[in-house]
Amino acid sequence: MSQITPVFKREFLGYFRSPVAYVFLVVFLMASVGLAFFIGGFFRTNLASLESFFVFHPWLFLFLIPAAGMRLWSEEKRTGTVELLFTLPITTLEAVLAKFFAAWAFLTVAILLSFPMVITVGYLGDPDWGVIASSYLGSILMAGSYLGVCSLTSALTRNQVISFVLSVLACLVLLFLGWSVFNSVLHSVFPVWLVDLLANFSFATHFNAFTKGIIDPKDVVFFLSLTGFTLFLNVVALER
């Protein structure tokens, strides 16, 4: 496992060696804060809370995380560096974990750079700090699961466009399963227990608890096991 460090370092710094990181960070922050202000009514609600900021994260991640994750493996395949990487003394699992953790760390940086929002609510009112902390935790965990899915689809193709579209589709399904509008459609066709079961596989269902300040081990386990499972499939896809 010691081989994770150099690859992690290269990958993480790699984001900042190209304009990708800066474009991504700017777009992510503008979009997430913009949604909170203009659609979420951040000021209008007159509450010292970041709920109107976090509520859009599942939807924002749906497009932005595939954009960050699509190149993970498809870029290596297209440029041939995958051959270089896998003839270095490193196992597939180490390479998958190193690249995943680097991308996750980068996304965590992006999420945490929204800290001026926290300062704003702290300055204007008296927010519940526990809720804010748990919302950040949930958001970071959810980003990991989205990224796991994107890393997997990226390993299936050398074409970044295909990788992006597949990622968005897969994440869309995982998100929709828990969306109330979509669920009420399902309710008219399927029995309640089945709809509830399906909703349990959704990002949104598990993320909502975090935004209410509840850190349920069940939700943590869901995100971590979904991430673990997609990374396992990722290793299988690369070794095939």
Partner 1 sequence: MIEVKGLVKHYGSKRAVDGVSFTVNRGDILGFLGPNGAGKSTTMKMITGFLRPNAGTALVNGHDVTRDPVAVKKQLGYLPESAPAYGEMTVEEFLGFIAETRDFRARDARDAQVERALGLTQLAPVRRQTIETLSKGYKQRVGFAQALLHNPPVLILDEPTDGLDPNQKNEVRALIKNLAAEKAVVLSTHILEEVEAICTRVIIISQGKVVVDETPAQFRARQPGARLDAIFRSLTTSDA
Q: Which residues bind partner 1 (CB under 8 A)?
A: 3, 5-7, 9-10, 14, 17-18, 79-81, 83-84, 86-91
Indicate the residue among 79 and 184 with the shorter CB distance to partner 1: 79
Cβ-based nearer residue to partner 1, 18 or 225: 18
3-state helix, strand, coil in the chain (%, to 5): 80, 0, 20
Which CA distances in Å does 87 have to 7, 9, 29, 95? Answer: 13, 18, 38, 11
Of residues 145 and 160, the one with the C-beta less far from partner 1: 160
Nearest to partner 1 of 99, 206 (CB atom): 99
- Which residue number, 19 or 217, has a Cβ lying nearer to partner 1? 19
To the nearest whole angstrom, how small is the minimum distance from the Cβ of residue 85 to partner 1? Answer: 9
Q: Is 177 helix (H, G, I), strand (E, B) or coil?
A: coil
Q: How many residues does the chain have?
A: 240
Q: How far is the CB of 87 from partner 1 (least distance, A)?
A: 5
AA letter at 112: L
Considering the complex, state which of residue 89 and residue 217 has its C-beta at the smaller distance from partner 1.
Answer: 89
Closest separation between CB of residue 29 and partner 1, Å? 23
Q: Are 151 and 234 in contact (CB under 8 A)?
A: yes
Shortest gap between Cβ of 12 and partner 1 (angstroms)? 12
CB 144 within 8 A of CB 63: no
CB of 11 to partner 1, least distance (A): 10
Helix axes 217-239, 203-211, angle to 10 degrees: 140
* C-alpha span between 90 and 239 (Å, rounded): 13
Reading phi first (left if > 0) and then psi (alpha if -120 to 50, else beta), residue 226 is in alpha
* Minimum CB–partner distance for residue 232 and partner 1 (Å): 19
Q: Which of 155, 147, 145, 138 is nearest to 213 (CA)?
A: 138
* Closest distance of CB 27 from partner 1, Å: 20
What gap in Å lies between CA 140 and CA 220, rounded to an integer? 11
For 19, what's the count of Cα atoms within 13 Å in the CB-facing half-sphere? 2
Question: Closer CB to partner 1, residue 81 or residue 225?
Answer: 81
